[in-house]
Structure 1
Amino acid sequence: MYGLGRSGRGVARFLAAEGMRAQWHDARPSAEDLALMDELHFGRGNVGGPYRTVVAAPGVPIDHPDLLALQARGAELIGEVVLAARLRPGLPIVGVTGTAGKGGTTVLIASMLRACGVRAREGGNIDPPLLDVVDSAEVAVAELSSFQLERVPGLRLPVAVITNLGVDHLDRHRTVDAYHAAKLNITAGQREGDVLIVPDGLEVTTRAGVLAFSPARLVLSSGEEVLPAAELPDSIHPANAAAALLAAEAMLLRLGRPIQVAVLAAALRVAQPQRGRFETVAQVGGVRFIDDSIATRTIAVQAALERATPPMAWLVGGRDKGADLAPLRQAAQGRVKTVIAFGEDGEKLARELGLPFVAVSGTDGDATMRAAARAGLEALAGEGTVLLAPVGTSFDQFRDYAQRGDSFRRAALALAHAAEVQA
């Protein structure tokens, strides 16, 4: 195992349960990593030694010198998804990737399959790791990042979904073409009889049968409407629902299960967003607070700006990752009243956006988020949306996007409580 962390710990637990021998290497193992390795009696490996198989964590670049050296000495390089597929060959896996929306689509597919009586579990790039769910699932639904898809030799997915292809992770992949090539590995092992689901207009070379989805229509492959898009919960993106619907149908057909339109429609009507992904976390009078802390990619931030109810106070900040701001300027026109700039590069991003802004700060991340939420509420005249779609990463003041979103949630709930007390 090269690289531990969340994914590596999942691999370690799985291998131990299988009674398999393994060694590990991590340049900066956490205390949690070390404790688990001791508990499982896995020793630290020598990266200079020969190995038959190396299971590499997604965070390790595919061209890391150690991985290249291990491959040169005959090791096969795989990730947790291929390990799961090889050791559980009878388990159908639905794979979902895309620049934005893959997590929400993954959860929707699994929830619709469960509504239809299928024991479906989601995992992979979202919690839990895929290997933690394979033994309790009839079908696994895996969110797959471009990092994971760099190391999937021979992976065949009976159903695969590409939500969209935008621009991201150029610090890792270096070019857009290389990033897209990694994403398209999701269909590389597919064959005739498999299904690939893509957005309408995206052309992909594949041996699988292709189904195209449009956010305007929540339909089955036959064209039969399951639910008008207007009846979706506000927190569920129609594009994610449209893609998930086709994927659920494709897996049900593969399993020989009936397609119950009414059940699928009911599941969509009560669908819940992933925590921290365009989720309404509080309301003060006519002002909604929406947490989309994970929105750092241009395509995801643009979607949030287009979905939220104007006028908006848009919380922008964190650490600049070089996102393309031009589409965001356009999406904000006539919808964003004020940008609330916070964190390390918030003011820089706000100036580049060219929108009216207020800069806030605090002694730590929580204090900064309290100031930002309060400034957002004050910027609106009792109606509209305070939207956290920050563009920047969370690593200036928070451990990750989830911790930043939780901080925003607490700040918004405190404002809602204060408003109730005053009333």
Structure 2
Amino acid sequence: MDGQRAGQRELRETQLGRILIYGLGRSGRGVARFLAAEGLQADWLDARPGPEDTALVADLGFGPGDLSRPYSTVVAAPGVPIDHPDLLALAARGAEILGEVALAARLRPNLPMIGITGTAGKGSTTVLVAHLLRVCGLAALEGGNIDPPLLDVVDRAEVAVVELSSFQLERVPGLRLPVAVITNLGIDHLDRHRTEAAYHAAKLNITAGQTADDVLIVPAGLQVQTRAKALAFSPDSLALADGRLILPTAHLPEGIHPANAAAALLAAEAMLLYLGRPVRPDLLAAALRSAQPVSGRFETVARLGNVRFIEDSIATRTLAVEAALLRATPPIAWLVGGRDKGADLVPLRAAAEGRVVRVIAFGEDGEKMARELGLPSETVAGEGGDEVLMNAARAGLAALQHTGGTVLLAPIGTSFDLFKDYRARGESFKQAARALTTQTAQPAEAQA
């Protein structure tokens, strides 16, 4: 056995040569752990490593890198732009630039992977596909852009279900996916990709390595150039590829978007067929009925009478916010705020028409975005993010006190003005909504 491991390590060393991990963080730490488990050495570079980063690489015995060294393989973190000067210089000297997904595919070529991308819904669809496959008896694990990193699950998964961002898809040379999903294509990350065409080109790398034996799942009406067999899904029909209906959309659990469910169903079926496993409509229907929404994605976090509080803090893309507005039960008090990322507000005005009764603006650019939306609005403030969202939740509840409806956090703006990330913002809103509903539900004498 020791001889076999040594042989495998020598093969990996031949495949990858001298390795540099460029950028640590969540993805880079996953790469470091994986390479160490393979018995491989690597250098690392990060402009601002955190304490967790430096502790890990020190524990693994990985030393700081030097751009003058002759690296064969550079595994770059998704957050590092593809045209970063250091990466361009390394590539000019012969280094191959990879991401964690390409590394996983190269070193685990026999692991079946489903790749899922899109402007909105890719995370929820990823979790749902893995759930469907587990109910059908496969040891499916999700990873990639969603926690955990892909390389943390490749040795425990029978099938890897991989959420892929446009950043990750910029560096996937040679990636071939037997099953790939595009949930939708909108506009996002123009600060990184600069143009809509470049952003879409990165997304479409998901199918670049596919062949006629592979399957690409796309929304009905989206035309994509691909060599794969294209299957279209619709939010109106939870059906298999041959048209067999599995479940009425009305039977989906609260918080599961029909479009995500329809795409996930086709992806699970395609992977089962790829592996030669039976497709059981009864199991797939049961899996859809038992699916749970991903925390922080259109999640009902509190109720008070006929008012529901929905947390969708991750909704900063036009498509995601539009979907939230159309799914929420009107009338809606819509919480809008954070740091403006240049989202297209025109479709949101149309989606809000006749559904939103008041916009509650908060944070750095909330008031500006509310003005651009041109809807009845008020602005709230506070000392720190938690107080701001408590005041926003309170204002939303007040706007619906006579009618009922939905207090919806679908903020459009990023979270970085008041919080470290969208999760922290969502958790703050969740705590505010629960505290507010508990206080309001108490009898008057108990509050005195």
* Aligned AA (1:87): L
User: Contact 2:331/2:403 (CA < 8 Å) preserved in 1?
Assistant: no
TM-score using structure 1 length: 0.99
Q: How does 1:78-227 map to 2 (within 5 A)?
A: 78-227=98-247
In the alignment, structure 2 segments of 5+ residues that lack a partner are 1-20
Partner of 1:134, secondary structure, is: coil
Query: In the alignment, what sits opposite 1:29?
Result: 49
Instruction: State the aligned residue count.
Output: 423
Query: In the alignment, what sits opposite 2:7?
Result: none
User: Contact 1:98/1:162 (CA < 8 Å) preserved in 2?
Assistant: yes
In 1, the alpha carbon distance for the partners of 2:138 and 2:443 equals: 48
Query: In the alignment, what sits opposite 2:83?
Result: 63
TM-score using structure 2 length: 0.94
Shift of residue 382, structure 1, vs aligned partner: 5.0
In the alignment, which of 311, 315, 332 is matched to residue 331 of structure 2?
311
Q: Does 1:397 align with 2:415?
A: no
Partner of 1:272, secondary structure, is: coil
Q: How does 1:197-346 map to 2 (within 5 A)?
A: 197-346=217-366
In the alignment, which of 350, 353, 370 is matched to residue 390 of structure 2?
370
* Aligned AA (2:326): E
Query: In the alignment, what sits opposite 1:9?
Result: 29
In 2, the alpha carbon distance for the partners of 1:63 and 1:41 equals: 29
In 2, the alpha carbon distance for the partners of 1:25 and 1:47 equals: 9
* Aligned AA (1:94): I
* Aligned AA (2:253): P
* Aligned AA (1:42): F
Query: In the alignment, what sits opposite 1:408?
Result: 429
Shift of residue 422, structure 1, vs aligned partner: 2.4
Shift of residue 269, structure 1, vs aligned partner: 1.1
List per-residue Cα deviations over 1:171-193 (Å, max 9, x = no partner).
00000000000000000011121
Partner of 2:166, secondary structure, is: coil
Partner of 2:155, secondary structure, is: helix
Identity of aligned residues (%): 73
Task: Give the stretch that moved more between structures: 345-354 or 412-421.
Answer: 412-421
Task: Give the stretch that moved more between structures: 166-175 or 379-388.
Answer: 379-388
Partner of 1:211, secondary structure, is: strand
Shift of residue 231, structure 1, vs aligned partner: 1.0
List per-residue Cα deviations over 1:195-242 (Å, max 9, x = no partner).
000011111111111111011100000100000111112311111000
Partner of 2:288, secondary structure, is: helix
* Poorly superposed stretches of 4+, deviation over 4 Å: none
In the alignment, which of 50, 55, 61 is matched to residue 70 of structure 2?
50
Q: Does 1:417 align with 2:448?
A: no
User: Contact 1:284/1:415 (CA < 8 Å) preserved in 2?
Assistant: no
User: Contact 1:51/1:70 (CA < 8 Å) preserved in 2?
Assistant: yes
Partner of 1:43, secondary structure, is: coil
In 1, the alpha carbon distance for the partners of 2:291 and 2:159 equals: 19
Task: Give the stretch that moved more between structures: 304-313 or 251-260.
Answer: 251-260
In 1, the alpha carbon distance for the partners of 2:440 and 2:291 equals: 29
In the alignment, structure 1 segments of 5+ residues that lack a partner are none
* Aligned AA (1:390): P
Aligned residues: CA RMSD: 0.8
In 1, the alpha carbon distance for the partners of 2:214 and 2:311 equals: 36
In 1, the alpha carbon distance for the partners of 2:318 and 2:196 equals: 14
* Aligned AA (2:346): A
